[in-house]
A and B are shown apart, each in its own frame.
Chain A
Amino acid sequence: NAGVTQTPKFRVLKTGQSMTLLCAQDMNHEYMYWYRQDPGMGLRLIHYSVGEGTTAKGEVPDGYNVSRLKKQNFLLGLESAAPSQTSVYFCASSLNVFGNTEAFFGQGTRLTVV
Chain B
Amino acid sequence: AQKVTQAQTEISVVEKEDVTLDCVYETRDTTYYLFWYKQPPSGELVFLIRRNSFDEQNEISGRYSWNFQKSTSSFNFTITASQVVDSAVYFCALSEAWFRETGANNLFFGTGTRLTVIP
Contacts and interface: CB of A to CB of B under 8 A. Distances in A.
Interface of A: 31, 33, 40-45, 48, 50, 54, 56, 58-59, 88, 90, 92, 97-99, 102-108, 110
A97 B104 contact: yes
Nearest to B111: A42
A106 B45 CA distance: 8
Q: Is the interface of B mostly helix, strand, loop or mixed?
A: strand
Contacts of B45: 90, 92, 105, 108
B111 A98 contact: no
A43 B52 CA distance: 21
Given A42-B110, A56-B99, A48 B44 contact: no
Contacts, number: 66
B91 to A, nearest CB: 6
A102 B91 contact: no
A99 B111 CA distance: 20
Interface string B25-60: 000000111010100001111010010100000000
Contact of B109 (A43, A56, A58, A110): A43
A110 B106 CA distance: 22
A43 B44 CA distance: 13
A98 B91 contact: no
Given A41-B111, A42-B109, A43-B109, A99 B104 contact: no
Contact of B105 (A44, A99, A107): A99
A43 B43 contact: no
Contacts of B52: 99
A97 B31 CA distance: 13
Contacts of B4: 42
